[in-house]
Amino acid sequence: MSAGETGGPAPAERSAELRRQIHEHDHRYYVLDDPVVSDQDYDALLAELRGLEAADPELVVPDSPTQRVGGKASERFPAARHRLPMLSLANARSEDELRAWVTRMRAHLAREGFANARFAYVSEPKIDGLAISLLYENGELVRGATRGDGEIGEDVTPNLRTIRAIPLRIDEAPDLVEVRGEVYLPVAAFAALNEQRAAAGESTFMNPRNSAAGSLRQLDPAVTASRPLSMWSYGVGALQGKKPFARHSDALAWLRERGFRVNPDVMVHDDDDIEAAIERCRFWEQRRTQLDYEIDGVVVKVDDAEQQFRLGAVGRDPRGQIAWKFAPTTATTVLRSIMWNVGRVGALHPFAVLEPVGVGGVTVKLATLHNEEDLLRKDVRPGDEVIVTRAGDVIPQVISPAPHAAARPDRAPPPRPPERCPSCGTPTTKPEGSVFTICPNRAGCPGQLFQQVKHFVSRGAIDIEGLGEERVGKFLSDGVIADAADLYALTVERLGALEGFQETSARNLVAAIAASRERPFARVLFALGLEEVGFVTARNLAQRFRSIDALMAASAEEIATTPGIGEKVAATVVRELSTPGVASLIGRLRAAGLAFEQQGSAPGEGPLSEKTLVLTGALPTLTREQATERILAAGGRVTSSVSKATDYLVAGDSPGSKLDKAERLGVSVIGEEELQGLLAGGQGS
Phi then psi for residue 81, to 5 deg, are -85, 130
What mean pLDDT is predicted for residues 168-181? 92
Beta-carbon count within 10 A of 57 CB: 7
- In the 3-class helix/strand/coil scheme, how is 575-643 assigned residue by residue? HHHCCHHHHHHHHHHHHCCCCCECCCCCCCCCCCCCCEEEEECECCCCCHHHHHHHHHHCCCEEECCCC
680: closest CA among 672, 642, 546?
672
**Per-residue pLDDT tens digits for 558-575:** 999 887 788 989 999 999
**Per-residue pLDDT tens digits for 230-272:** 899 999 999 999 999 999 999 999 999 988 989 988 999 988 8
| CA–CA separation, 336 and 355 (whole Å) | 6
- pTM recorded for the entire structure: 0.55
Higher pLDDT, 489 or 288: 489
| CA–CA separation, 627 and 652 (whole Å) | 11
**Per-residue pLDDT tens digits for 435-488:** 899 999 988 899 999 999 999 999 889 999 999 999 999 999 999 999 999 999
Q: Answer whether 279's CB lies under 8 Å from 287's CB.
A: no
Q: What is the reported pLDDT for 603? A: 59
What mean pLDDT is predicted for residues 139-151? 90
**Per-residue pLDDT tens digits for 483-504:** 999 999 999 999 999 988 999 9
CA distances from 536 to 542, 565, 606 (A): 10, 10, 21
- pLDDT range class, residue 5, cuts 50, 70, 90: very low
User: How many helices (H) and strands (E) in the chain?
Assistant: 25, 22
Residue 126 annotated in active site: yes
Of 39-48, 109-118, 122-131, the poorest mean pLDDT is in 39-48
What mean pLDDT is predicted for residues 629-652? 85
Q: What is the reported pLDDT for 192? A: 78
Q: What is the reported pLDDT for 28? A: 65
Residue in 126, 378, 454, 611 annotated catalytic = 126
Domains of the chain: 3-67 (1.10.287.610), 91-325 (3.30.470.30), 330-407 (2.40.50.140), 446-591 (1.10.150.20), 612-679 (3.40.50.10190)
Which of 29-33, 412-416, 419-423, 431-435 is predicted most confidently? 419-423
What mean pLDDT is predicted for residues 629-640? 82
- pLDDT range class, residue 593, cuts 50, 70, 90: very high
Q: What is the reported pLDDT for 70? A: 46
Q: What is the reported pLDDT for 2? A: 43
Q: What is the reported pLDDT for 220? A: 77
CA distances from 53 to 59, 316, 543 (A): 5, 14, 67
Q: What is the reported pLDDT for 396? A: 87
Beta-carbon count within 10 A of 600 CB: 16
Q: Answer whether 262's CB lies under 8 Å from 660's CB.
A: no
For the chain, give the mean pLDDT: 86
Q: What is the reported pLDDT for 685? A: 45
Of 148-152, 326-330, 641-645, 661-665, the poorest mean pLDDT is in 326-330
